[in-house]
Copies of this chain bind each other. A is one copy, B any other.
Amino acid sequence: MNLEAIYHRPRGNWAYAYDTATLHIRLRSKKDDLSEAILIHGDKYAWERTVSKTVMHKLPSDERFDYWQAEVRPTLRRTKYAFELRSGGEALFYEEKGFREDEPADPHKMFDFPFLNAADVHTPPAWVKEAVFYQIFPERFANGDCSNDPEGTEPWGGKPTPKNFFGGDLQGVIDHLDHLQELGVNAIYFNPLFQATTNHKYDTSDYLKVDAHFGDNELLKKLVSACHERGIRVMLDAVFNHSGKEFEPFKDVREKGKDSRYADWFHVMEWPIAVKDGFPSYETFGFEPLMPKLNTENPEVKQYLLDVAKYWIEEAGIDGWRLDVANEVDMQFWRDFRRTVKAANPDAYILGEMFHDALPWLAGDQFDAVMNYPFTDLVVDYAAKGIIGADRFASKLGELFASYPDQANAVAFNLLGSHDTERLLTLCGGSKERMKLASLLQFVFPGAPCIYYGDEVGLDGAGDPDCRKCMEWDVDKQDRELFRHFQQLIAVRKEHRALRDGTLEFMHAAENGSLLVVQRQDEQDHFLIAVNPGEEPARIELDVKQMKWQEMLGEAELDAAGGKLVLELEPCGFALLRANAAFNAFGFGVGEQL
């Protein structure tokens, strides 16, 4: 047994309350080292009367490690636990005090989940699991009101530059809600809407006012209501790490220097404020002088921003906040932010922008979830660019899932492109089949998928500013076949819980190859997802118990009467198969839930 590889530490992703009645306990071991892992658990004050054992099941592995999980429902809310590890004939026990050869009996030496307090449970809003998001960059989605166009607005469909304007606005969104409804999405993520000088609006000058070029506060309210009437939720972008240079307090600081009553609203390192050698003398986003970092540790600033957060929930009825540069803002602020937002709307989704390991923000006291860039990168590298193999894709995803609590994974924000990246079609080298394959993956893993506006009709684009092209509204120029693909993906995901929240297993991940087969299932459904982003055809025979399999993205029906399901995939081919319920008597031979 490889003892250096064994890892467990209470809390975080290793021991957490999944809900107010259930604990998830995880253990890491060297890949293929253990044959079995068993959780020994009970109440420390009544050990003998409460001790029981739960066989742990395997989560997806990564390159180096296996991950084991047990779900336990302690009757008495206190849980002491230890692990029984089996490897061939060998058995070993693992408790907080270390490894031992004999079965532990003293709960005081064991790992401890002292009490399952409801207040500490990470509980994201239930609707996010069911959500399919659509990201709108408002300046480029639709121009519904020419009267509010900025000076120098260029004709719709022109070449985007860092600074030009095309007149997109909220009325344009209202006018095109039919498009979203037809597509099937049920949530919108808006890039910033508040008063700012740029076309992207990440340099807020007034947090309480919709940008005049987009409309006004009343129009935003109208838009949110119109969305709600169609069952579409609305998430706004909270740019609270920094303001823009025209934000009144910063203007005051620029004018009055350290005598400004807002001097402590920012992080000024040296007066007078200046930029030397590219480095501003005050903290900024990046080193961008136009985006001064807000001092969220100043109670006055904190209260101002919390009031903003509350205002838009109460005033416009929004359903969530996406937090820009969330990782650079202090955690004390985010804890108060969560409290404020959830008090105003317990169902609000709090989504942090994080590019790196985000566990410290996902303990239940700060964010519901983070933007799932690691997922983005993996799908892009595997499916869009074909630069990593199926085995690496599967193992890195396994590592990612094991690194967070299940409920955070289930509401992660799974995007494949955004206003900051090349568009998916471009990442796919213009290959529509590859793009379909990539988007299929987006829709079958835990986490809420998000479609970047226009991807569904075949918009392409290199990085910023090219990815911020105007939406194509000429139906003849839209790729309607791609649109139908997205419609199908959305429909099938919305209809089948197994694709959102079922158990997940990698049934096949070709070593240094491209073929991947994933299984997702729950009590109702069995799905097989097979993709081949390679340049050669791929074929696999799978042992299955179900006889009939339905292709959900097409008409084909596959027969596996002999217990063998044969899958043949062309280069860039894919399949989304559902076991036909009528013949679905036995379930799978592998991957059964414990």
Contacts and interface: CB of A to CB of B under 8 A. Distances in A.
A9 interface: yes
A356 B111 contact: yes
Nearest to A339: B332
Interface in A2-37: 2-5, 7, 9-12, 30
Contacts of A46: 278-279, 287
A330 interface: yes
Contact of A297 (B117, B297, B355): B117
Interface string A277-307: 0110001001100000000110000000000
- Band of interface residues on A: 35 or more
Interface in A355-397: 355-357, 359-360, 363, 365
Contacts of A296: 117, 119
Given A286-B45, A287-B46, A335 B4 contact: no
Interface string A110-123: 01101101111000
A297 to B, nearest CB: 4
Nearest to A325: B114
| CB-CB nearest 10 A-B residue pairs | A117-B330, A114-B327, A4-B5, A115-B328, A112-B356, A119-B330, A11-B360, A45-B286, A119-B332, A119-B297
A119 B302 CA distance: 12
Contact of A78 (B278, B328, B357): B328
Interface in A296-343: 296-297, 327-333, 335
B45 A108 contact: no
A357 B117 contact: no
A283 B77 contact: yes
A335 B328 CA distance: 21
B327 A118 contact: no
A194 interface: no
Interface of A: 2-5, 7, 9-12, 30, 45-46, 63-65, 77-78, 96, 98, 108, 111-112, 114-115, 117-120, 278-279, 283, 286-287, 296-297, 327-333, 335, 355-357, 359-360, 363, 365
A296 B119 CA distance: 9
Given A2-B4, A5-B5, A333 B64 contact: no
Given A287-B46, A365-B331, A357 B96 contact: yes
A371 B286 CA distance: 42
B119 A331 contact: yes
Contacts of A287: 45-46
B117 A331 contact: yes
A237 to B, nearest CB: 18
Nearest to A9: B357
Nearest to A108: B355
B120 A332 contact: yes
A327 to B, nearest CB: 4
A117 B329 contact: yes
Contacts of A115: 327-330
A329 B46 CA distance: 19
A65 B355 CA distance: 30
A359 B45 CA distance: 23
Contacts of A12: 360
A287 B98 CA distance: 28
A283 B9 CA distance: 26
Nearest to A363: B360
B120 A9 contact: no
Contact of A4 (B64, B333, B360): B64
B119 A335 contact: no
A398 B3 CA distance: 18
Given A2-B4, A111-B356, 15 more contacts: A4-B30, A5-B5, A45-B286, A46-B278, A46-B279, A46-B287, A108-B355, A111-B357, A112-B327, A115-B327, A117-B297, A117-B328, A117-B332, A119-B296, A119-B333
Contacts of A7: 7
Given A111-B356, A283-B77, A355-B108, A3 B331 contact: no
A296 B297 CA distance: 27
21 contacts: A4-B64, A9-B359, A10-B360, A11-B359, A11-B360, A45-B287, A78-B328, A96-B356, A111-B356, A112-B355, A115-B329, A117-B296, A117-B331, A118-B297, A118-B330, A119-B297, A119-B330, A119-B333, A332-B365, A335-B365, A360-B363
Contacts of A108: 355
A66 to B, nearest CB: 11
A65 B329 CA distance: 34
A333 B115 CA distance: 13
Given A335-B365, A359-B9, A328 B114 contact: yes
